[in-house]
């Protein structure tokens, strides 16, 4: 098991991508802290991933935009005599509104949830990773961190910032053997009309949509020692979507 003895935090663990990553990490020997505001949901997921309650999957309700809430998570981890080796920021929130109708509250909520939380958690993990002499930070962004989709400006800005946060971590913390990379996900959790769905299918040369399990496989690679020479990079899991932007 390639993550045996490692401790990981996975945010957004109540959603398909976060859950799939947490599951993959548990299967590969890591102790995984499942982070989400949805306490009931992550409790059920922790039970599913660790049915014998062996301490492999721990549900930790947390508001990642709150330093106090994050402190509580790390106090729990320290009490277990653990240090975070792997951080996965997989939280995803998209509010769909035209830019001119976007309220400051909407903007702030998007930025804080999708970007500020990742910054706060990364910063909190730093000392432990530095002392351990190694660390992995994996951010899950979106294709539209680079390609703009109308109606979700705050989300685009936040995910674009997440890519640059990964690069900044890679540059500033690389000397401490901390690697940071971004998985660029093809899917956004938004309602989609039949017309939009058809257009998406035309633009996507693959016969299936991106699966959470595919993203989890990439996350596992980035979390392992096999990726020690990879940092500051964006790895697309888009089934060729970006290579086929012109409709026939």
What value does the mean pLDDT of the chain take? 89
Domains and their CATH numbers in the chain: 7-238 (3.40.50.720)
CA 113 to chain CA centroid, Å, is 11
Query: Exposed e or buried b for every residue in 170-204, given b needs 16+ CB within 10 A?
Result: beebeeeebbbbbbbbbbbeeeeeeeeeeeeeebb
Active site residue 33: no
Instruction: Give per-residue pLDDT as tens, 68-125.
Output: 999 999 999 999 999 999 999 999 888 889 999 999 999 999 999 999 999 999 999 9
Among 155, 182, 215, 220, the active-site one is 155
Percent of the chain with pLDDT over 90: 76
In angstroms, the CA 147 to CA 144 distance is 4
Residue 167: what pLDDT?
Answer: 98
């Amino acid at each position: 098991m390639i993550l045996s003895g490692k401790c990981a935090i996975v945010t957004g663990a109540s959603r398909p991508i976060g859950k799939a990553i947490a599951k993959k990490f548990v299967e590969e020997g890591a102790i995984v802290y499942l982070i989400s505001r949805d306490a009931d949901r992550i409790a059920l997921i922790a039970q599913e991933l660790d049915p014998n309650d062996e301490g492999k999957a721990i549900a930790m309700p947390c508001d990642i935009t709150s330093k106090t809430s994050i402190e509580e998570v790390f106090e729990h981890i320290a009490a277990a005599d653990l240090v975070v080796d792997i951080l996965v920021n997989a939280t995803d929130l998209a509010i769909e509104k035209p830019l001119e109708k976007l309220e400051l509250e909407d903007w702030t909520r998007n930025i804080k949830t999708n970007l500020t939380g990742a910054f706060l958690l990364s910063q909190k993990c730093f000392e432990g990773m530095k002392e351990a002499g190694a660390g992995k930070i994996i951010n899950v962004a979106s294709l539209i961190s680079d390609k703009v989709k109308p109606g979700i400006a705050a989300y685009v800005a936040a995910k674009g910032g997440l890519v640059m946060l990964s690069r900044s971590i890679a540059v500033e913390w690389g000397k401490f053997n901390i690697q940071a990379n971004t998985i660029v996900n093809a899917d956004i959790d938004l309602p989609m009309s039949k017309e939009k769905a058809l257009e998406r299918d035309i633009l996507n040369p693959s016969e299936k949509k991106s699966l959470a399990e595919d993203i989890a496989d990439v996350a596992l690679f980035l979390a392992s020692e096999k990726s020690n020479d990879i940092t500051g990079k964006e790895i697309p899991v888009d089934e060729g979507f970006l290579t086929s932007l012109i409709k026939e």
